[in-house]
Amino acid sequence: MNEKVLFTMNRITEKLWFRPLIFCILSILGALIAQIADSTRLHELVPKINTESLETLLDTISASMLVISIFAVGSMVSAFSAASNTATPRSFKLIIADDVSRNALSVFIGSFIYSIVATVALKNGYYGVAGNFTLFVFTLLFFALVILTFLRWVERISRLGRMEHTIKLVENATENAIKTRLASPTLNGISINPNQEKGTAVYGNITGYVQQIYMSNLQIIAKKLDALITINAVPGTFSAIDKPLFYISVLKNTTTEDDYNEMRKAFVIGNMRYFEEDPRFGLITLSEIASRALSPAVNDPGTAIQIISSHVRLFSLWAEPVHSKKEEKLSYDRIAVPELAIADLFEDAFRPIARDGAGNIEVMIRLQKAFNSVYAIDNSAIKIAAMHHSYQAFERAEIEMKFNGDLSLLKSESLFTKKT
């Protein structure tokens, strides 16, 4: 249940309307709670606030905040469009989730709602002396909050949607996903035993990307059936009718179709991929940005080089000792889960850049230097993948490059040349 709630909350909090809704509710409560001050002895201590001055302040907020809110939405939409056109549409979810912009929109809309509610209450005699004073203080605080938020938001909107900012957002999201998976390589399940029979293949009845797996639900069913479930479609995998979702090995042959359907429900399948549970999606998104930058229409090799640097930083996470020494918590001893395949991650990260940048000596040299850097990581799978892709990248360059001097320079920088 906790997994379902967490997954649902993550999807809801991604919506642009979520924070403005929360702030609107709080602003309404603030306008109404001010009346509580009238039930205290605060009226004996505070000065009397002129109702007309309060109305003027509230009218100013209501008149300006709606305009600013519309302006904020327009600016955000322009930034979203710019990010999709210059980087990749896959980055849209991260841009729209920008905390500063959503907070700004929340403050602007919330302030507008607050002013309307407070004005109606004020004109209907809802407040006494203490209530008027409390409302006056709240209104001044709202003014200060709006000004500070606007100044911060203006600085952010100047960068929102720009290439460097978009790359940083995607890299951060990918880093978080990789760290989460490195801390739990098998999603708190057990490792797959290659010598053990997987069992009966169970296929899904929905076509789409696996977004989440409710491991606790599978564990309960597996215990009930005295079975071992081997996951075949981890989050990010495209589930189709020809690919099993999982395999099940049942000691007691009592499994029914209802049991299979219950297990299928533990797999959340949708049309989109999400960054939180899917490290490969982040690497693919970064590579898409690099491929677009290397297209003849854009011709921006500097962005591709920047993406290569991002990939090196991300693969360097495997070198952090915390991941090699930390033992994974085993919560699901009836579920076997495959770990991240380094070979697949290298394909996602480096093959598109090697393909599209094969004719650019600057990009290919930086790519070979990247392979040298990740080869230094104490991980045999990474070393093998780095060597393989170093050789393939050089072969692609041999086909595209015409100048022998560039090829000689590239070969001298290549990993497979230095290590053979």
Give the rounded percent of residues in the chain with a pLDDT score beyond 70: 92
373 pLDDT more than 90: yes
Question: Helices 342-356 and 380-400 sit at what angle, rounded to 10 degrees?
Answer: 20
| Percent of the chain with pLDDT strictly greater than 90 | 35
Tell me if residue 207 falls in helix, strand or coil: coil
Alpha-carbon radius of gyration of the chain: 28
CB atoms near residue 125 (< 10 Å): 9
Average pLDDT (212-232) is: 90
Asked if 340 contacts 185 with a C-beta cutoff of 8 angstroms, the reply is yes
DSSP 3-state assignment of 406? Answer: helix
Strands (E), 197-352: 200-203, 208-213, 227-231, 238-239, 244-250, 267-270, 335-336
Residue 152 has pLDDT above 80, yes or no: yes
How many alpha carbons fall within 13 Å on the CB side of residue 46? Answer: 19
Q: Alpha carbon 244 to chain centroid distance? A: 27
pLDDT of residue 267: 92
Name the residue among 383, 303, 305, 306 with its Cα closest to residue 346.
383
Amino acid letter, residue 210? V
**b/e 319-347 (16+ beta carbons within 10 angstroms → b):** eeeebeeeebeeebebbbbbebebeebbb
Which pLDDT does position 330 carry in this prediction? 65
pTM: 0.80
Mean pLDDT throughout 2-28? 74
Is there a contact between 295 and 356 (Cβ–Cβ < 8 Å)? yes
CA 322, 327, 328, 331 torsion-angle sign: negative
pLDDT at 324: 42
| pLDDT given for residue 354 in this prediction | 95
The CATH homologous superfamily for domain 185-270 is Pyrimidine nucleoside phosphorylase-like, C-terminal domain (3.90.1170.30)
pLDDT for 325: 41
pLDDT score for 116: 85
Number of CB atoms found within 10 A of residue 419's CB: 13
- What is the pLDDT, as a whole number, of residue 224? 87
List pLDDT tens digits, range 83-131. Answer: 667 777 777 777 777 677 778 888 888 888 888 888 888 888 888 888 8
For residue 302, pLDDT beyond 90 = yes
Angle ∠(41,47,50) on CA atoms, nearest 5: 120
Domain ranges of the chain: 12-161, 185-270, 279-326+340-418
Q: How confident is the model at residue 323 (pLDDT cuts 50, 70, 90)?
A: very low
Name the phi and psi angles at 32, rounded to 5: -85, -35
Residue 245's pLDDT is: 92
pLDDT in tens, 165-178: 889 989 999 999 99
Q: What integer pLDDT is reported at residue 39 of this predicted model? A: 77
Q: How sure is the predictor about 38, in pLDDT bands with cuts at 50, 70 and 90?
A: confident
Best CA proximity match to 237, nearest among 207, 259, 196: 207
pLDDT at residue 360, rounded to an integer: 93
* Cβ pair 111, 67 in contact under 8 A: no
Q: Count CB-CB contacts under 10 A for residue 9.
A: 11
